[in-house]
């Protein structure tokens, strides 16, 4: 009885320590955040940095309010966000499907191998002008950019992980008479979920790059357009506002992927 | 009539740099309900032979007949438990043991109940919802055995099922497996490095010699040992005699 109590006390102590540490981390994070913006504001107000170039949190905030009220921020944001999400989803799905195709046909994968390497090494955004001429200066070509930057690397990484699945899992399935299709569904795909999720995380960043560059080029709508416009009229408050909005939403997307990870990757390790 | 017949099996592995003959002139008959052990030095082709019997690899030469027919994988006549348990880590224990039934689309409520009850008979209560990594090595082996038995194969092949276990767990599992197989009157082939295990569990022991793998000798196990469960058989005086006999034979196979 006595010993039980002692263990209980120790456990409580352990939990308390854990909580204390968590509070400390959160507090420090908040402190850095506040300090950063406070320094920025003060430096800008006192002209230590050029306010024309670096703007200041307060003027960004004011611009944010006015852009929110006239609805232009929401309009541009929704365009960019839908392009990015589309590019991200299409890139990942297409890449995974291509990887499945390569796994299905070993000959095809051997034939295509050098081409994949070349395509991967090439800077995809350099294809932007061609895409815009081919698909027109509209949403389609921007989504295509968002897709293009992620699809090849997804194909390569996912295909590699398909190949690295322990062949003995396939052997187990084959002793039960499984078809190739069943092997893919029961072993190859689920074994690769962790890899697919981590490419998803990379793809979040890549799709934003593709879409923003696409919007630079098309220069009609979206957050990328706001940046390039602000740059042209030398309104760096606008540029910084767009950047901050992008940072917030890219982070949100990342968090969503992590949520998905918790759902998909289950092996009792929680 | 023989249940399983191997006729002149030969197998060569080809790689870019070499051609390894793993098996040569393997001919063998196994009767229905018989328990046969394969014993032999590492690399003598035991796993290869099991893969050939299971139809996973095509032998370079020779034939495998099960009840006078070539083996058809889709019919699930053969259950093969690999050298390690290979439970799918992303599936729960229940999903793992029902895998074979799911693959050949014969999963129904009755079969599910039957398989889950087999799991309980193996002494595994309340683990259905767990994942493999939450179980110990011995528990995982038992789950793998249930998975293999679930499709009710006519022939069961076990590749060193107990080699990764501690001695005590191993002795307990030997009894459990032996009982289970006797109860279902299954024909079985066991691969092992352990002479004692081969004697305790089987009706006949086949000794392989290496490079290339051939059948060196075959030892029938005396009926006094056969009718006892493995643990009791280990304590019988005849056990030691046979052990020494096989030990000497194995020694003579060792290259100097
Ligand atoms: N996929 C393969 N490609 C080439 N050679 C192979 C392959 N698999 C096995 N071998 C060779 O065939 C021989 C027999 O291998 P096998 O795995 O059947 O032996 P084993 O008797 O099961 O050994 P162990 O007792 O260590 O499990 C070995 O010499 C091995 O090197
Ligand atoms: Mg082996």
Measured between alpha carbons, how far is A257 from A262 in angstroms, rounded to an integer? 9
Asked if B191 and B224 touch (Cβ cutoff 8 Å), the reply is: no
Q: Tens digit of pLDDT for each residue in B54-72?
A: 988 889 998 888 888 887 7
Domain ranges for chain B = 9-77+153-253, 87-152
| Predicted pLDDT at A270 | 40
Measured between alpha carbons, how far is A159 from A47 in angstroms, rounded to an integer? 54
Which residue lies with its CA nearest to atom 2 of ligand 1?
B13
N-terminal to C-terminal alpha carbon distance within chain A = 31
Measured between alpha carbons, how far is B201 from B190 in angstroms, rounded to an integer? 9
Which stretch of A65-79, A152-166, B70-84, B90-104 has the lowest confidence by average pLDDT?
B70-84
Asked if B196 and B242 touch (Cβ cutoff 8 Å), the reply is: no
Contact A177 B104 (CB under 8 A): yes
Q: What percent of chain A has pLDDT over 70?
A: 97
Contact B76 A266 (CB under 8 A): no
Helix-strand-coil split of chain B, %, nearest 5: 40, 25, 35
Looking at per-residue pLDDT, the higher value among A245 and B177 belongs to A245
Quote the pTM value: 0.83
pLDDT interval class at A237 (50, 70, 90): very high
Measured between alpha carbons, how far is B28 from A69 in angstroms, rounded to an integer? 86
The H or E element that residue A111 is part of is helix A106-121
The shortest C-alpha distance from B99 to chain A (Å) reads 8
Other residues' Cβ atoms within 10 Å of the Cβ of residue A268: 15
Measured between alpha carbons, how far is A217 from B138 in angstroms, rounded to an integer? 62
Mean pLDDT of B116-120: 89
pLDDT of residue A3 exceeding 80, the answer is no
**A48 token code pair:** 């230590």
Q: Nearest Cα to B38, choosing from B188, B238, B146, B176?
A: B188
Domain B9-77+153-253 has CATH 1.20.58.220: no
Estimate to the nearest angstrom the gap between the alpha carbon of A11 and the chain centroid.
38
Cα atoms found within 13 Å of the Cα of residue A218, Cβ hemisphere only: 29
| Predicted pLDDT at B1 | 63
Of A166, A178, A267, the CB nearest to B90: A267
N-terminal to C-terminal alpha carbon distance within chain B = 42
Q: What percent of chain B has pLDDT over 70?
A: 98
Measured between alpha carbons, how far is B59 from B10 in angstroms, rounded to an integer? 6
Measured between alpha carbons, how far is A230 from B208 in angstroms, rounded to an integer? 81
| Predicted pLDDT at A36 | 94
- How many residues are present in chain B? 256
pLDDT of residue A1 exceeding 60, the answer is no
B47 lines ligand 1 (CB under 6 A): yes
Q: Tens digit of pLDDT for each residue in A173-232?
A: 999 988 999 999 999 999 998 888 888 888 998 999 999 999 998 888 899 999 999 999
Of all ligands present, the nearest one to the C-alpha of B208 is 1
Q: Tens digit of pLDDT for each residue in B148-165?
A: 989 888 899 999 888 777
- Starting at the earlier edge strand, list the strands of the sheet with B187-192: B78-81, B155-159, B187-192, B35-39, B204-209, B214-220
pLDDT interval class at B255 (50, 70, 90): low
Which stretch of A1-5, A241-245, B142-146, B205-209 has the lowest confidence by average pLDDT?
A1-5
Of all ligands present, the nearest one to the C-alpha of B192 is 1
Q: Which of A161, A165, A172 is most worth mutating to test chain B (most B CB atoms within 10 A of its CB)?
A: A172
Q: Tens digit of pLDDT for each residue in B14-56?
A: 988 888 888 888 898 998 889 999 998 888 889 999 999 998 8
B168 lines ligand 1 (CB under 6 A): no
pLDDT interval class at A64 (50, 70, 90): very high
């Amino acid at each position: 009885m006595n010993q039980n109590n002692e263990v209980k006390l120790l456990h409580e102590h352990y939990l308390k320590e854990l909580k204390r540490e968590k509070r400390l981390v959160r507090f420090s994070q908040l402190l850095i955040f506040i300090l950063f913006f406070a320094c920025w504001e003060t430096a800008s107000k006192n002209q230590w940095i050029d306010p024309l170039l670096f703007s200041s949190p307060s003027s960004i905030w004011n611009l944010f309010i006015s852009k929110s009220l006239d609805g232009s921020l929401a309009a541009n944001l929704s365009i960019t966000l839908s392009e990015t999400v589309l590019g991200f989803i299409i890139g990942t799905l297409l890449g995974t499907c291509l990887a499945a195709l390569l796994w299905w046909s070993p000959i095809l994968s051997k034939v295509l191998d050098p081409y994949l390497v070349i395509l991967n090494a090439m800077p995809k955004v350099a294809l932007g002008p061609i895409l815009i001429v081919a698909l027109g200066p509209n949403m389609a070509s921007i989504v295509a950019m968002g897709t293009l930057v992620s699809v090849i690397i997804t194909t390569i990484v996912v295909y590699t992980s398909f190949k690295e699945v322990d062949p003995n899992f396939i052997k187990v399935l084959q002793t039960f008479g499984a078809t190739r299709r069943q092997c893919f569904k029961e072993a190859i795909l689920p074994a690769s979920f962790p890899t697919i999720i981590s490419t998803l995380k990379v793809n979040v960043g890549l799709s934003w790059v593709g879409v923003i560059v696409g919007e630079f080029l098309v220069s009609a709508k979206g957050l990328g357009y706001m940046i390039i416009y602000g740059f042209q009229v030398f309104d760096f408050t606008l540029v910084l506002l767009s950047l901050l909005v992008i940072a917030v939403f890219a982070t949100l997307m990342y968090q969503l992927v992590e949520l998905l990870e918790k759902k998909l990757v289950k092996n009792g390790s929680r | 009539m023989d249940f399983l017949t191997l006729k002149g099996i030969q197998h060569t592995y080809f790689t870019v740099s070499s051609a390894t003959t793993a098996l040569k002139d393997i001919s063998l008959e196994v009767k229905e309900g018989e328990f046969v052990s394969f014993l032999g030095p590492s690399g003598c082709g035991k796993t290869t032979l099991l893969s050939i019997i299971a139809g996973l690899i095509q032998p370079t030469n020779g034939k495998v007949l099960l009840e006078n027919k070539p083996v058809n994988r889709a019919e699930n006549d053969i259950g093969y438990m690999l050298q390690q348990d290979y439970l799918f880590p992303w599936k729960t224990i229940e999903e793992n043991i029902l895998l074979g039934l799911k693959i050949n689309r014969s999963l129904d409520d009755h079969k599910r109940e039957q398989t889950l009850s087999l799991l309980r008979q193996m002494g595994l209560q309340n683990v259905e919802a767990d994942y493999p990594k939450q179980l110990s090595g011995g528990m995982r082996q038992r789950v793998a055995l249930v998975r293999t038995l679930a499709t009710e194969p006519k022939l069961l092949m076990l590749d060193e099922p107990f080699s990764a276990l501690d001695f005590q767990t191993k002795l307990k599992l030997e009894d459990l497996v032996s009982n289970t197989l006797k109860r279902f009157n299954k024909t079985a082939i066991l691969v092992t490095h352990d002479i004692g295990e081969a004697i305790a569990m089987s009706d006949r022991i086949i000794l392989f010699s290496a490079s290339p793998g051939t059948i060196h000798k075959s030892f029938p196990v005396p009926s006094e040992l056969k009718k006892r469960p493995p643990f009791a058989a280990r304590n019988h005086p005849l056990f030691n005699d046979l052990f020494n006999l096989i030990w000497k034979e194995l020694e003579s196979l060792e290259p100097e």
